[in-house]
Amino acid sequence: MVIQPKIRGFICTNAHPVGCAEHIKEQMEYVKKCGPVANGPKNVLVIGASTGYGLASRITAAFGSGANTLGIFFEKEPSDSKTGSAGWYNTAAFEQAANAAGLWNKHINGDAFTDELKSQAIDIIRSEMGKIDLVVYSLAAPRRKDPVTGEVFSSVLKPIGQSYTARTLNTSKREIEDVSVEPANDDEIYQTVKVMGGEDWERWLSQLDAAGVLADNCQTVAYTYIGKELTWPIYGKATIGKAKEDLDRAAAAITAKLADKKGKAYVASLKALVTQASSAIPIMPLYISLLYRVMKEEGSHEGCIEQINGLFRQGLYSNTPIMDDAGRLRMDGKELSAHIQQAVKELWGQVTTDSIDTLTDYKGYHNEFLRLFGFGYAHVDYDADVSPMVPLQNIVG
């Protein structure tokens, strides 16, 4: 079939297998160019391994450290009439490259919140990997079913305490407009924390530890975004921010639980980037478009792979990691520097629908959004007849 992007709002409903393979190739080549990660991991579990920061983590572990990787994700398989999801094709491209390099890799496609999947992962680790020395937790999901009670919780993107009105970039209409969001009630805050907080991360590590499949001196990391004043009302000081605060609680609890094997849990704060998740958050498309312009002009812009490659080399496997007073690993220093934030604020007040192309990097934002789904690559022929049926050889179950 000929595969062209089908965009609805902030979602692209299809993906291009050849373009996704290019997306993976770019990231692998960047990591390889940087050389081996000194004292890097050897057996890695990535929970949320098929897109964004989780995918970049798997690529960095494999091609920067020669690690065996088990990836967990929830992706749509292709059929004769429909493409698979981008994460499916990303994993297929990763698998092909890892196989060619002689790197052990397997994947589980399913609901990472369930205890059944956790048990399945533990069985594979025990029988085929040995002990895990790094667990990456990079899930972004709208709902979670509690494995004990069976109750289903749903997350919301709302401010806390009072309603919030701000400018945003409506990517469907390509217009600057105001968006208003009513404050979350207590139950919505609670449910968002249950979905996006640290409870499931903690449960994963507890079960891995109980099964005896964690190595001495193992590390685990979960990803967050902290931001500054412009994004705090809808992110840092909102329901998502409250959930991300719970990651700090979970990190402390996990570290305490793993004390006997000198294990450590970290929260890593990363840069704002175009991801499937960030595209859905009010004001973030405008903020990111402005941020990209400012940081690209300065020469300090980084994408997913640059951030995660840096995290491995300057954070997780460094003797002098960049950390804040709360013990978080920080890779967002360039974005949050005073001069970058001031430049973004000034443009924020000036931009109109007519000046989107001159005052923002919306073209860069939109192209990066397309690339998440394998589109927007100049050397890929999007008029060519392509089979959507790309298999995963190393998928389990």
Dist CA 329 CA 308 (whole Å)? 11
User: 191, 240 in Cβ contact below 8 A?
Assistant: no
Q: Which of 137, 235, 287, 365 is catalytic?
A: 235
Name the token pair of 342: 């001031």
Q: Specify binding-site residues for NAD(+).
A: 48-53, 74-75, 111-112, 139-140, 244, 273-275
- Is 235 catalytic? The answer is yes
Instruction: Report whether 37 contacts 317 (CB < 8 A).
Output: yes
Residue tagged 């491209």 (tokens): 93
Annotated binding site for substrate: 225
Residues with active-site annotation: 235
